[in-house]
Amino acid sequence: MRNGFLRVAACAPHVKVADVDYNISRIIEKLDGLVKQKTELAVFPEMSLTGYTCADLFHNFMLIDAAAAALARLVDYSRKVRVIDFVVGLPVRVDGAMYNCAALVQQGEVSLVAKSYIPNYN
């Protein structure tokens, strides 16, 4: 924070549905640019690691495991960079239940918050 102000970026990288490797590379690319711009907090979209419209693929262990591995990669990235905090979205499985989560990554630490208000499209 400089002079009482925080430099925040809302980011919308191009995302490919269920292509976690592609999505994380776009996120890291964006973060690298934001670090150069001295951004202190970056916020990425809901389900930014997997894409929002995965539907039945959210029940696929490979996709969920890939999202968890991508989050671990981002945590490692944050340990090295240490000048920017960021929020990404991903599905998280806990005790057999699936949650739509926001992950706040800060200097090698991660905090998860599950979505509280799920829309009812029916």
The predicted structure's pLDDT at residue 56 = 85
* Alpha helices by DSSP H, 1-122: 20-36, 61-81
The domain limits of the chain are 8-114
For the chain, first and last CA: distance in Å? 44
| Per-residue pLDDT tens over the stretch 1-22 | 778 899 999 999 999 999 999 9
- 102 SS3 class: strand
- For 19, the token pair is 């292509």
Tallying the residues shown for the chain, one arrives at 122
Stated pTM of the model:
0.92
| Per-residue pLDDT tens over the stretch 17-37 | 999 999 999 999 999 999 999
Confidence of residue 117 (pLDDT cuts 50, 70, 90): confident
Assigned fold of 8-114: Nitrilase/N-carbamoyl-D-aminoacid amidohydrolase (3.60.110)
